[in-house]
Amino acid sequence: MSEAYLQDSGFYWTVERYGHLLASNGYAMAALRWPTDMYNSHGCGYYFTEAAVDYFPTLIDTTRIGFKGMSQGGTVSNWLALKRFINSGWGSNGRFVQPDAYWGPIGWIRDFPADQQSYTDSALAAMPDDVLYLPTVSELDNLHDIRVHIDLYTFMGVPDSNKAFYIIRGDTVNSYIYWATHETERTYVEDTSSLNFFTYMTKYDALDYWAFFRPLMALCATAWEGDTAARRICMGNGEAIQVQMAQGQLKDLLVTDDPKPEMHWVWNNGTYANPCTVAWNMRQYVTADACFLLSIPEEDTWDYRPMAFPNPASARQWITLNAEQADLKELHVYDTQGREVPFEQAGSSIQLRQEGYYILKCLWSNGHISQHRIVISPAP
């Protein structure tokens, strides 16, 4: 690949910023430009790490290692950590994984699912307890299915004290839109929606620092320097120092040890370009739970979809839930942070007291489950 092409790419500028950030704090970084042939080339990440250590033995200390990647790179970061931390013993003096917008497990080079053993429950559980595990996803990322993220996070063998699940939320401040999409991290590129999925990339905005640079530096300081203040930033328990973005000027991060799909905006409102049943999701070859452990079906197969009317509605206005083929058996209502909220119910009608966005999860008498995103405006 030519130097001119590299210097004109979003990848080049993103890596340059991370390189300057890490080097200025005394750390070394080796970065790999991922090939476009995702199905046949994933083994090269393994060889790249080996070659980097061989070429720069005085710069790279394999006892202090962190893996960070975005999209395919996030996928490979997960896989490399399982390989290098477990099989090669890397990171004995401090280690972490920070996969962002990762697509789920992909097999080893050409003959997948030949590497499916890397993704069994027991293989994921073998991740060393001292690994700091910090996956991130964005609320408008509809490129892949969040259930894959949640499945991996749930089975990854790291105690809750050493892992956290981040959902990055966008915001609008003074008419400037901070987009939280698949490309949130790679925001050097000019604004665009030219890709075939919902993506916007905006130069150098605050989400870069607060959602990625700051947690990364906190992971480095926590893993390799034992910095307790840094641990509160990357591995805290949802306190303000961890979740607040730009001192409260942007929406807080959603940080949890128990992620649910209801917390993710696209789960409730969009469609996925790559649902969790795609061929390269190795988890589906070793467990039926990879897509369906969350009791929410891949799609609703009813001829008649249940309705919620009116929607939007006003606070304390009755909303009727109607399914011609079944009766409402059970109902749960969640806010955008996945917390269950109280409501008034009369038969198949409900009312909510506060304005906001809510997710209704309905269990019907025929066994089907449906979800409805409800918008509640202030009472007139």
CB within 8 Å of 289: residues ≥ 6 apart: 151
CATH topology of domain 307-377: Immunoglobulin-like (2.60.40)
For the chain, where do the domains classified as CATH 3.40.50 start and end? Answer: 3-292
Query: pTM for the whole thing?
Result: 0.73
CB burial string 88-106: b at 16+ within 10 A, e below: eebbeebbbbbbbbbbbbb
Give mean pLDDT in consecutive 10-residue pieces for the chain, a chain of 380 residues: 43 79 92 63 75 93 94 86 91 96 68 65 91 94 86 91 94 82 69 41 73 95 96 92 92 91 78 76 74 46 62 86 77 74 88 82 74 76
**Pair type for strands 136-138 and 171-173:** unpaired
Q: How much is the pLDDT for 52? A: 92
Q: How much is the pLDDT for 262? A: 80
Q: How much is the pLDDT for 314? A: 87
Angle (CA) 217-38-191 rounded to 5° is 60
d(CA 56, CA 283): 35
Q: How much is the pLDDT for 234? A: 96
User: Which two structure tokens, joined as six digits, stand for 279?
Assistant: 């061929």
Q: How much is the pLDDT for 65? A: 97
d(CA 254, CA 144): 19
Q: What share of the chain is helix, strand, coil (3-state, %, to 5)?
A: 30, 20, 50
Class of residue 239 by CB neighbours under 10 A (exposed 0-12, middle 13-18, buried 19+) = exposed
Rg (CA), the chain: 22
CB within 8 Å of 73: residues ≥ 6 apart: 32, 34, 99, 102
Rounded to a whole number, what is the largest CA-CA distance in the chain? 71
Query: What is the CATH code of the structural domain delimited by 3-292?
Result: 3.40.50
CB within 8 Å of 78: residues ≥ 6 apart: 67, 97, 99, 102, 105, 152
For the chain, where do the domains classified as CATH 2.60.40.1080 start and end? Answer: 307-377
User: Which two structure tokens, joined as six digits, stand for 356?
Assistant: 């906001």
Closest CA to 145 of 297, 365, 344: 297
Q: In the beta sheet, which residues pair with residue 322?
A: 307
Q: How much is the pLDDT for 70? A: 87
**Would you say 140 and 180 are in contact if contact means Cβ atoms under 8 Å apart?**
yes
**Would you say 170 and 300 are in contact if contact means Cβ atoms under 8 Å apart?**
no
3-class SS letters over 166-209:
EEECCEEECCEEECCCCCCCCCCCCCCCCCCCCCCCCCCCHHHH
